[in-house]
Homo-oligomer: A and B are copies of this chain.
Amino acid sequence: MIAVDWGTSSFRAYRLDAAGRIRDRRAAPAGILSVAEGGFPAALETQLGDWIEETPILMSGMVGSRQGWLEAPYADCPAGAAEIARLMRRVSWEGGRREAWIVPGLACRDAAAVADVMRGEETQILGAAEELPEGAAILCLPGTHSKWVRLDSGRILDFATAMTGEAFAVLRRHSILGRLMPPEGAAAAITADAAFDAGLARAGDPGGLLHHLFGVRSRALFGEIAPAALPAYLSGVLIGRELADLLPHEGGIVHIIAEPGLARLYAHALAAAGRKARILDPDCVARGLYRLAAHLPKRGGHG
């Protein structure tokens, strides 16, 4: 089968054998925003090349959003693989000769009954669930929109999203804070250094996030933090706030799914908060799609 993770800005495909092992992979910066309306079948064929002949093809991520190929619904929490598979949507082209399946997103309501949504992460979580111990588990999928997820025996109970990565990006690029920092191209990658730690610690001070953000500026004005260290400090302030607000109090390891640099940053932040972290395989999306494929209706053989 072919497993596709098609997000806003990137396209990743995996060729899996019958046991779900990754045999090959392809990736391109060909996210859904680069595809014109009606252009999804052609874009998929271009990216998959000769893999297009293999079946089934399952796709997760923003390809199922309003801006994607077809708007797939949201499954409601709590949900496991079966409930999510039930809402997969079939797309076909070339007069129905070719087809692919789009995974739904996942929705829940927070303590105040306000909706939260994910699209793509649910499939990563299903893939990671097999690596988790039995019983309750906490997952963190940091990024543009960080997800904090509670699982129980492989079922997704609920989750909460924080706009941490996007807040960092817009503040760094467009606010007065960014003007104090080196240009993005010239700045070092953010690592768990002393400035990041200072930001994490700051998040525990009184005054709240909007005050701590202005403090990035005043500390820079007073020369307390060097310009080159400001991005890491800002990142620490934001991630520290995210953890203070969303890290579940019940103990236990936090399982992280992210690209390696970001995963290490969060593992460090969790350690600073006194919590153990375990970094999971970021390719778990392929495993999740493999699990969902098992729920597909048996093919009628129109190929």
Residues on A facing B (Cβ under 8 Å): 107, 110-112, 114-117, 145-146, 160-164, 166-167, 170-171, 173-176, 202, 205-211, 213-215, 217-219, 221-222, 224, 238, 241-242, 244-246
Q: Please give, as numbers and ranges, the residues of chain B lying within 8 Å of A222 by CB-CB distance.
A: 107, 115
- Who on chain B is nearest to A220 by CB? B115
Give 16 new A-B contacts, CB below 8 A, not counting A161-B214, A162-B210, A162-B214: A107-B222, A110-B205, A110-B211, A114-B219, A115-B218, A116-B214, A160-B211, A163-B213, A166-B176, A173-B174, A206-B245, A207-B245, A208-B209, A209-B245, A210-B241, A210-B246
**Residues in B whose Cβ lies below 8 Å from that of A110:** 205-207, 211, 215
If over half of A's interface residues share one DSSP class (helix, strand or loop), that class is named, otherwise mixed; here it is helix
Q: 6 closest pairs, A vs B, by CB? A: A208-B245, A162-B210, A112-B205, A161-B214, A163-B213, A115-B218
Stoichiometry (number of copies): 2
Inter-subunit contact A205/B241 (CB<8 Å): no
Please determine whether B112 and A206 come into contact, CB atoms closer than 8 angstroms. yes
